[in-house]
Structure 1
Amino acid sequence: MTRLVELEATGPRKLDPEDIDDEKGNVAICQCGLSDDFPFCDGSHRKTSDEEEGTTYVYEDGERKVVEEVVTEDDTDENE
């Protein structure tokens, strides 16, 4: 399975000592792209537990949708 994730950051996120929560302990970094507390994990990855291999998903407004086709703009004309 794959997931389309829209991110706006243009650089890395440096973790500082104050990023460690005294109650929760270690910091978990989101790898699914769904966390409301991104780049930190908030458990949203649990929504992905039944995703099927070979299927691409997008999550919009809390709803999971299957992506039938990903189309990107061909920029070859811009280089001529």
Structure 2
Amino acid sequence: MTRLVELEERGPRRLDPSDIDDEKGDVAVCQCGLSESFPFCDGSHRRTHDEDEGTTYVYEDGQRREVERVVTAEDASDAGD
């Protein structure tokens, strides 16, 4: 499966002691791109467990939908040739 992730930041997030979870004593970094507290994991990855291999998904407004293909600006400009 593939997931489209849109990021807006232009720099790194530096971790400091306040980022450590008092209850768990660790920091979990998001790898799915869906966390509301990105770059930290908030458990949002649980929504991805039933994604099908070979399918591309977009998550918007809390909803998941499948997309047939992704067209980039470069692909669109090549189509005019």
Same fold (TM over 0.5): yes
- Structure 1 spans left out of the alignment, 5+ residues: none
Distance in structure 1 (CA, Å) of the matches to 2:3 and 2:50: 13
Distance in structure 2 (CA, Å) of the matches to 1:26 and 1:39: 14
Q: TM-score, normalised by structure 2?
A: 0.85
Q: TM-score, normalised by structure 1?
A: 0.86
- Structure 2 spans left out of the alignment, 5+ residues: none
Tell me what 2:46 maps to.
Answer: 46
Runs of 4+ in structure 1 displaced over 6 angstroms?
A: none
Offset of residue 27 of structure 1: 0.6
Offset of residue 24 of structure 1: 2.6
Distance in structure 1 (CA, Å) of the matches to 2:24 and 2:4: 29
Map 1:1-80; keep pairs closer than 5 Å.
1-74=1-74
Distance in structure 2 (CA, Å) of the matches to 1:21 and 1:64: 29
How much identity, in percent, do the aligned residues show?
77
